[in-house]
Structure 1
Amino acid sequence: MAVKRIEIMDTTLRDGEQTSSVSFSASEKLTIAKLLLEELKVDRIEIASARVSEGELQAVKDVTEWASENNYLNAVEVLTFVDKGVSIKWMLEAGAKVQNLLTKGSLNHLTHQLKKTPNQHFKEIKENIDFANVNDIVTNIYLEDWSNGMRNSKAYVFEFLEFLSTQPVKRIMLPDTLGVLTPQESFDFVKEIKDKYPSLHFDFHAHNDYDLGVSNVMEAIKAGADGLHLTINGMGERAGNAPMASTIAVINDFMPDIKIGVNETFLYTISKLVETFSGVMIPSNKPVVGANVFTQTAGIHADGDNKKNLYFSDLLPERFGRKRKYALGKASGKANIQKNLQELGLQLNDEDLKKVTQRIIELGDKKQVVSKEDLPYIISDVLDRTYEEKVKVNSYVLTHSKGLKPSTTVSISIEDETFEEHAQGDGQFDAFINAIRSVFKKKKAAIILPDLVDYAVRIPPGSRSDALCETIITWKNPEREFKTRGLDCDQTVSAIKATEKMLNIIVS
Structure 2
Amino acid sequence: MRRPVEIMDTTLRDGEQTSGVSFSSLEKLTLAKLLLEELKVNRIEVASARVSEGEFQAVKSITDWAKENGYLNRVEVLTFVDGGASLKWMQKAGAKVQNLLTKGSLNHLTHQLRKKPEEHFKEIAQVVSKAQKMGIETNVYLEDWSNGMRNSREYVLQFLDFLSQQPIKRILLPDTLGILTPNETREYVGLIVDRYPDSHIDFHGHNDYDLSVSNVMEAVKAGCHGLHLTVNGMGERAGNAPLASAVAVINDFLSDSVAIDVNEKALYKVSRLVSTFTGFGIPANKPIVGDNVFTQTAGIHADGDNKKNLYFNDLLPERFGRKRKYALGKTSGKANIQKNLQELGLTLNDDELKKVTERIIELGDKKETVTKDDLPYIISDVLDSGSFQQKVFIKSYVLTHSKGLKPSTTVMVEINGRSYEENALGDGQFDAFINALHKIYDRKKIALPQLTDYAVRIPPGSRSDALCETIITWQTKNKEFVTRGLDSDQTVSAIKATEKMLNLI
TM-score range, shorter chain: over 0.9
Residue of structure 2 in register with 1:313 after alignment? 313
Take 2:357 and 2:492, find their aligned partners in 1: how far apart are those partners? 21
Residue of structure 1 in register with 2:375 after alignment? 375
1:133-191 per-residue CA deviation (whole Å, 9 max, x = no partner) reads 12111111111110000000000000000010011111110001111110000000000
Take 2:348 and 2:143, find their aligned partners in 1: how far apart are those partners? 63
Q: Using the aligned pairs only, state the percent identity.
A: 73
Take 1:205 and 1:120, find their aligned partners in 2: how far apart are those partners? 26
3-state SS of 1:102 partner: strand
3-state SS of 1:337 partner: helix
Shift of 1:402: 5.5
Shift of 1:109: 0.8
Code of the aligned partner of 1:438: K
Query: Structure 1 pair 183/495, CA: closer, same or farther in 2 (3 Å)?
Result: same
Q: Is the 1:51–1:87 contact (alpha carbons within 8 Å) kept by the matching residues of 2?
A: yes
Residue of structure 2 in register with 1:482 after alignment? 481
Take 1:462 and 1:94, find their aligned partners in 2: how far apart are those partners? 46
Shift of 1:59: 0.9
Q: How is 1:162-181 mapped onto 2 (pairs within 5 angstroms)?
A: 162-181=161-180
Shift of 1:400: 4.5
Residue of structure 2 in register with 1:158 after alignment? 157
Code of the aligned partner of 1:427: G
Shift of 1:492: 2.3
Take 1:403 and 1:80, find their aligned partners in 2: how far apart are those partners? 69
Take 1:189 and 1:183, find their aligned partners in 2: how far apart are those partners? 10
Q: Is the 2:374–2:462 contact (alpha carbons within 8 Å) kept by the matching residues of 1?
A: no
Measured on the aligned residues, the alpha-carbon RMSD in Å equals 1.5
Are 1:14 and 2:13 counterparts?
Answer: yes
Take 2:400 and 2:343, find their aligned partners in 1: how far apart are those partners? 41
1:56-83 per-residue CA deviation (whole Å, 9 max, x = no partner) reads 1111111111111111111111111111
Residue of structure 2 in register with 1:414 after alignment? 415
Q: How is 1:245-284 mapped onto 2 (pairs within 5 angstroms)?
A: 245-256=244-255, 257-284=257-284
Are 1:350 and 2:350 counterparts?
Answer: yes
Shift of 1:399: 4.3
Take 1:315 and 1:293, find their aligned partners in 2: how far apart are those partners? 10
Shift of 1:482: 1.7
Code of the aligned partner of 2:83: K
Code of the aligned partner of 1:139: T
Q: How is 1:417-432 mapped onto 2 (pairs within 5 angstroms)?
A: 417-432=418-433
Shift of 1:408: 3.4
Query: Structure 1 pair 129/477, CA: closer, same or farther in 2 (3 Å)?
Result: same
Take 2:460 and 2:76, find their aligned partners in 1: how far apart are those partners? 43
Take 2:186 and 2:25, find their aligned partners in 1: how far apart are those partners? 38
Residue of structure 2 in register with 1:433 after alignment? 434
Code of the aligned partner of 1:305: D
Q: How is 1:87-126 mapped onto 2 (pairs within 5 angstroms)?
A: 87-126=86-125
Code of the aligned partner of 1:234: G
**Length-normalised TM-score, structure 1:** 0.96
Shift of 1:407: 3.7
Take 1:490 and 1:285, find their aligned partners in 2: how far apart are those partners? 29
Residue of structure 2 in register with 1:459 after alignment? 458
Shift of 1:420: 4.1
Are 1:472 and 2:471 counterparts?
Answer: yes
Residue of structure 2 in register with 1:338 after alignment? 338
1:375-410 per-residue CA deviation (whole Å, 9 max, x = no partner) reads 110001111122233333334344445555444343
Code of the aligned partner of 1:437: H
Take 2:161 and 2:401, find their aligned partners in 1: how far apart are those partners? 78
1:74-111 per-residue CA deviation (whole Å, 9 max, x = no partner) reads 11111111111111111112111111111110111111
Code of the aligned partner of 1:301: H
Take 2:417 and 2:112, find their aligned partners in 1: how far apart are those partners? 84
Residue of structure 1 in register with 2:133 after alignment? 134
Q: Is the 1:283–1:290 contact (alpha carbons within 8 Å) kept by the matching residues of 2?
A: yes
Query: Structure 1 pair 84/401, CA: closer, same or farther in 2 (3 Å)?
Result: farther
Per mean C-alpha deviation after superposition, the further-off stretch among 263-272 and 416-425 is 416-425
Take 1:231 and 1:96, find their aligned partners in 2: how far apart are those partners? 21
3-state SS of 1:284 partner: coil
Shift of 1:20: 1.1
Take 1:140 and 1:399, find their aligned partners in 2: how far apart are those partners? 72
Query: Structure 1 pair 437/238, CA: closer, same or farther in 2 (3 Å)?
Result: same
Are 1:193 and 2:198 counterparts?
Answer: no
Query: Structure 1 pair 123/404, CA: closer, same or farther in 2 (3 Å)?
Result: farther
Code of the aligned partner of 1:117: K
Residue of structure 2 in register with 1:393 after alignment? 394
Take 2:401 and 2:133, find their aligned partners in 1: how far apart are those partners? 76
Shift of 1:419: 4.1
Take 2:306 and 2:178, find their aligned partners in 1: how far apart are those partners? 42
Code of the aligned partner of 2:67: S
Are 1:325 and 2:321 counterparts?
Answer: no
Q: Is the 1:460–1:467 contact (alpha carbons within 8 Å) kept by the matching residues of 2?
A: no
Are 1:34 and 2:36 counterparts?
Answer: no
**Length-normalised TM-score, structure 2:** 0.97
